[in-house]
């Protein structure tokens, strides 16, 4: 079982419902879309910062990484990253990922709970 977050560039939506719509539109365009786009510079920097905290699972010899897919950067497209983490580490990793997104001026959306993360 995994815990999923979405992080994107843009203005912070005013409420959870609007954030859900924005996420769906971005997902349809950048994740489900036919054209693959490289991650934007800001999203690539975000992923790099996540990987400074916990390594990519492809490099995880000690089973300490929370990420469920690898390489993590492959989960990003354009201004969006939609990524999964192991359920057993979700509390710590999602809190860190949300705080990091906020510090970088990015929007973090909790997909399971359909809500913005502070």
> pLDDT for 93-112, tens place per residue?
999 999 999 999 999 999 99
Q: Which residues pair with 115 in a beta bridge?
A: 110
Are 7 and 78 a contacting pair, CB within 8 Å? no
Q: Which residues pair with 70 in a beta bridge?
A: none
H-helix segments, the chain:
16-26, 41-53, 90-103
pLDDT band at 61 (very low <50, low <70, confident <90, very high): confident
pLDDT digits (tens, 9 = 90+) for 17-39: 999 999 999 999 999 988 889 99
pLDDT band at 92 (very low <50, low <70, confident <90, very high): very high
Give pLDDT, residue 118.
82
Average pLDDT over residues 3-7: 97
- Report the alpha-carbon distance of residue 70 to residue 67 in Å, rounded: 7
> pTM for this structure?
0.96
pLDDT band at 60 (very low <50, low <70, confident <90, very high): confident
């Amino acid at each position: 079982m995994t815990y999923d977050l979405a992080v994107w560039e843009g203005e912070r939506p005013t409420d959870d419902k609007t954030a859900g719509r924005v996420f769906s539109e971005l997902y349809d365009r950048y994740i489900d879309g036919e054209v693959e786009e490289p991650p934007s510079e800001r999203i690539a920097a975000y992923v790099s910062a996540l990987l400074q905290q916990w390594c990519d699972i492809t490099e995880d010899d000690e089973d300490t990484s929370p990420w469920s897919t690898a390489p993590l950067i492959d989960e990003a497209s354009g201004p969006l990253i939609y990524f999964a983490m192991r359920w057993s580490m979700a509390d710590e990793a999602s809190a860190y990922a949300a705080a990091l997104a906020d510090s970088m001026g990015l929007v973090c959306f909790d997909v399971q709970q359909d809500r913005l993360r502070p």
